Structure 1
C-alpha cells in the first residue's frame, strides 16, 4: 500500500457526527482497496462486537490481502469467549459467504465448524422462529450433516416454521404406515400437518367415512373444505346428517361448526340464521355473516333483513366493512336502511362518505337528501366543499338519472331548492336539460 495514500472522503450524515470508530467501520466498506486494507491493519487488535459482521464481509473482499487480514483476525477472535455467540448471532451473514466467489475457504470452514458445535442454537431457532433463519439453518444441517438424522427428525417435528416441518412430514409420509399417519393426523393441531397428511391419505383411499366427517368439523376452513369435497365424492347423505344433528340439540360450539358447514353447503338461508341464534354471541355471529358474504352464500339484502328482524344495532365501522365485503354495490335505499340500525348516531361527515364510489346521479340524490341533516356551520362548510369536489363534473354525465319512482318523487320536491343554493353547478345547459323534468314537476 502506498505510504502517502489518503482517504479524502467525508463520512457523516447531515448534522449527525460520527465517532472515530464508526468512521473506521464505514471505511471498511470503502470502494478503495487500500483504505480497506489500512482499516483492517488498524483494527487488528479490536474485538468490539460491532466490528464482527464487517469482518465477515471482508472475508470475500476482491483484494486478496484484505481477505487474508480478515481471516487472520477471525482466527484470533476465536480465542475470545464471545466468539461462539457472535457466530450464531451472525449465522445468516456467514451463510451468504457460501455463494461468493472469493471467500477465504479455510476461514469459512472454521466459522461453520464453530456454528455446528452450538446444538442448543438449532433447538432455539427451530422451536421459536419462522422464516429465513430456520430454513437456511436446516439447509446447512442437511448439507454438512451437523445433526444425527433421528435428532434432526425430532427438531423438525417441533419446528415453528412450516417449511422446516415439511422435511419431517415428507419423511414420515415416505416411511410410516397409513395407520401411523392417520394417528398423527388426528393428534396434530397444526393446519399444514393436517392438510398434507389428509391429502396423502385421501389420495391413497385410506380415509374412512367417519374420518372425513371428523375433519368436516375441523376448526381450519381449508380442512373443512377438503373434507366436504371428499364427502361429496362419496355421495354422502348431507340431509340425513343434519336430521341426525338438529339445531335444537346443538351446543354453542356445535352451532359454530354447523354454521361453517352450512356456508359450504350453501343451504337455506333461514336455516342458517336459525343456527346463528344458537351461537348467542354478537361478535361471532357477525364474523360468520362476513364469511357468508365473502363466499357469496348471502347477499347484502339477506343480511339487512336479518339485522332488521333481530333488531340488532351495528356500529358505523361495521357498515363500512359490509360495503367492502359485499360483491355487489349497496343501493342508496339499502344504505339508508342500514343507517337506521347504526348506534351511536352517525356523524354528518360519515353520512357523506358512504357514497364515495357511487355513480354521479346516486351521489346527487344522496346529497339532496342529506342537506336536512346539517346541524351547524361546520357541517355546512364540509357539505359545500364535498359538493364542489363531487359534483363539479356533473355536466359531463352523458346519461340520464336512473332513479326509482319514489326517488324521482323525492327529487321533484327537494331538488328545486337545492339547485338554488349551488347555481355554479346546475346552471350549465347539459345539467339543466337532464334535470328539467324535476325542476318543472314534469315527472
Structure 2
C-alpha cells in the first residue's frame, strides 16, 4: 500500500489525530477519490478536523472542474445537509458551484439512471433550479423512468385526448406507451387504429394490453392475418408477426410456415429459442423443420446451446444428434460432455460410450478420464428403475449391454454382481440378449 492509500485510510480512522494528520498531508492533493472523504470530514466530531476539511474544500473550489466533481458526487454532497455538525459556508460554495454548471447537471439528470439522478431531480424540483414547465418538458426524454413519470403526470392531468394520442405515437418508451394506452381505453377514446399500432409495438406489455382490448371488442384476428400474409412481410414485419403469434398462442403451423419462409437466420434462432421456452413449440417441431428440404437451418454452436437450455424436458440422443446436425461447426469434446446434462440416464450412458468408442485417438489422460466417467455412470445404474427410450434399436441396446459386461469383468466382483443385476434385466427385457 502506497502513502496516498494509507492517508485515505487515515481519514476514516477512529483516531482524530490520524485524521488531522491526513487532512494536512492531503491539502493540495486533488485526486477525485479524496473528495467524498473530505465531505465526510465536514461532520467530524473534532472541530479542528472540520475546519481543516473546510479549508481543503475551499482550495478545491478554486480548481477547474470543481462543479463537475460536486455533481458526480451529488449524493455525498446532499448527505452533509442531514448531519448534526454542518459547515454552512462551504455548503453554500458547493451548491453555488453546482448551479454554475447547469448544463452538465442536466446532461447527467436526463442522460443517466439511478439514485444519483433521482436525488438531483428532487433538488432541482424542490429548489426550482429549473423552471417547472421546462423541467416537465425535459423529463419527457429522460432515461430514468421516475423522471418520465413527472412529465407523464402532467399529460394525464390535462387529459386531452389528442395530446394523449400524439404522445403515444411519438413515445419510444414502453412504460409511457402502456400508461397512455390504458388511459385512452379508460376514457373510452381508444380507437382500433391506435390499438393496431400498439399491437405492433416492440414492447410485449404494450402488445399484450392491445391484444386484450382487441379480444374484448371481438376483433377478427384471422382476417387480419389473411389480409397481410407471411409472404408479403419484410424482415421487420416478420419479427412483429412472430411476437403476435407467440403472444396469442396462435396455430403453430403458421409460425412454422414463417420460420420456413424467412431468410433471416437470426430471427429463426430467436423464434425457436423463445417458443421452446414458452412451450409454444416442441422438439418434435424443430425435427420436422430439419426434415424440410427447402429449409436450410444453419445455427452456430452458441445458438444450439441456447436451444438446449430453452428446453423444458430432457431430450434423447437422436434428438441431440439432429440438433448438432443444424450447425457446420464441430463441437469440442468439452462441449460434447456438457450436453450430458440434457439427457436422461440411458441416453447419457450411450453418449459416453460413443465418445469413447467412436474416437479412439484421445490422449491417454483424456481416455482415462472418459473411462472413469463411464464407470461412474454404470455404478449409478444400480438405482435406475426405467427402461431406455422406445426408439432404441436392438443394436444400440447390445452395444450398451456389452459395455456394461466389460465393466463388470474389470470392476465388479462376483459378490457385487447382484447389485447390478437389475440394470442388466432392464436391458434384457427391451431386447432378447
Distance 1:339 1:89, change over 3 A: closer
1:315 Cα deviation (Å)? Answer: 3.4
Deviates more, 1:124-133 or 1:232-241: 124-133
Q: Does residue 122 of the first structure (1) align with residue 105 of the second (2)? A: yes
Residue in 2 that maps onto 1:383: 370
Q: Provide the residue aligned with 1:48 in structure 2.
A: 30
**CA deviation vs aligned residue, 1:161-188 (integer Å, no higher than 9, x gap):** 2222222122222135121011011012
Report the equivalent of 2:47: 64
Pair 314,158 (structure 1): closer, same or farther in 2 beyond 3 Å: closer
Do 1:126 and 1:155's aligned partners in 2 also have CA atoms closer than 8 Å?
no
Task: Quote the Cα distance in structure 1 between the aligned partners of 2:360 and 2:190.
Answer: 66
The alpha-carbon deviation at position 105 of structure 1 amounts to 4.1
Shift in Å at residue 138 of structure 1? Answer: 0.4
CA contact (8 A) 1:294 1:326 kept: yes
C-alpha separation in 2, matches of 1:176 and 1:84? 40
Equivalent residue, structure 1, for 2:176: 193
Residue pair 2:75, 2:116 contacting (<8 A) in 1 also: yes
Match of 1:334 among 308, 319, 333: 319
2:419 to 424, 427, 430: 430
Q: Distance in 1 between matches of 2:374 and 2:97?
A: 70
Aligned residue among 383, 395, 399 for 1:414: 399
Equivalent residue in structure 2 for 1:394, among 381, 388, 412? 381
8 Å CA contact 1:293, 1:299 repeated in 2? yes
What is the distance in 1 between the residues matched to 2:260 and 2:426?
A: 49
The one of 86, 91, 114 equivalent to 2:69 is: 86
Rate the CA distance shift 1:422–1:22 in 2: closer, same or farther, 3 A. Answer: same
**Residue 108 of structure 1: CA displacement?**
2.9
Deviation at 1:32, TM superposition (A): 0.6
Structure 2 unaligned regions, length at least 5: none
What displacement does 1:367 show?
2.9
Contact 1:253–1:279 (CA under 8 A) maintained in structure 2: no
Are 1:95 and 2:53 an aligned pair?
A: no
Q: Does the CA-based 8 Å contact 1:255-1:276 persist in structure 2? A: no
Task: Give the CA deviation at 1:416.
Answer: 4.1
What is the root-mean-square deviation of aligned Cα atoms in Å?
A: 2.8
- Residue-pair matches, total: 423
Contact kept? 2:353, 2:374, Cα under 8 Å: no
Is the counterpart of residue 163 in structure 1 residue 146 in structure 2?
yes
State the partner residue of 2:203. Answer: 220
Q: Distance in 1 between matches of 2:97 and 2:53?
A: 17
| Structure 1 gap segments, 5+ residues each | 1-12
Distance change >3 Å, CA 417–CA 166, structure 1 → 2 = same
Deviations 1:301-360 (A, max 9, x none): 112211222252433332221111122222333223323434234444433432225443
1:289 CA drift (Å): 1.8
Question: Residues 338 and 49 (structure 1 numbering): CA distance in 2 closer, same or farther, change over 3 Å?
Answer: closer
CA distance in 2, matches of 1:119, 1:92: 17
State whether residues 11 and 23 of structure 2, in contact with CA within 8 Å, keep that contact through their aligned partners in structure 1.
yes
2:133 corresponds to 1:146: no
Q: Secondary structure at the match of 1:422?
A: helix
Please, which moves more after superposition, 340-349 or 320-329?
340-349
CA contact (8 A) 1:256 1:279 kept: no
**Matched-pair contact (CA < 8 Å) for 1:75–1:107:** yes
Does the 8 Å contact 1:314/1:341 carry over to 2?
A: yes
Question: In the alignment, is the contact (CA less than 8 A) between 2:61 and 2:94 conserved in 1?
Answer: no
- Which residue among 271, 286, 307 is the counterpart of 1:322? 307
The alpha-carbon deviation at position 370 of structure 1 amounts to: 4.3
Q: Deviations over 1:252-271 (max 9, x none)?
A: 33333222212222222222
Shift of 1:229: 1.4
Q: Which residue of 1 aligns with 2:95?
A: 112
Is the Cα–Cα contact under 8 Å of residues 152 and 176 in structure 2 kept in the other structure? yes
Higher mean C-alpha displacement, 413-422 vs 256-265: 413-422
Q: TM-score, normalised by structure 1?
A: 0.85
Deviation at 1:376, TM superposition (A): 0.6
Structure 2 CA distance for partners of 1:400 and 1:122, relative to 1, 3 Å: same
CA distance in structure 1 between the aligned counterparts of 2:282 and 2:391, rounded to whole angstroms: 23
Q: Distance in 2 between matches of 1:42 and 1:253?
A: 62
Do structure 1's residue 32 and structure 2's residue 15 form an aligned pair?
yes
Aligned to 1:253: 236
Contact 1:312–1:341 under 8 Å retained in 2: yes
- Work out the CA distance in 2 between the residues paired with 1:383 and 1:79: 69
1:43-102 deviations in whole A, cap 9, x for unaligned? 55x363454332211012133332233234434543455433432333232123234343
Q: Which shows bigger deviation, 215-224 or 314-323?
A: 314-323
Equivalent in the alignment of 1:6: none
Among 330, 335, 338, which residue is 1:350 paired with? Answer: 335
Change (3 A) 1:249 1:131: same
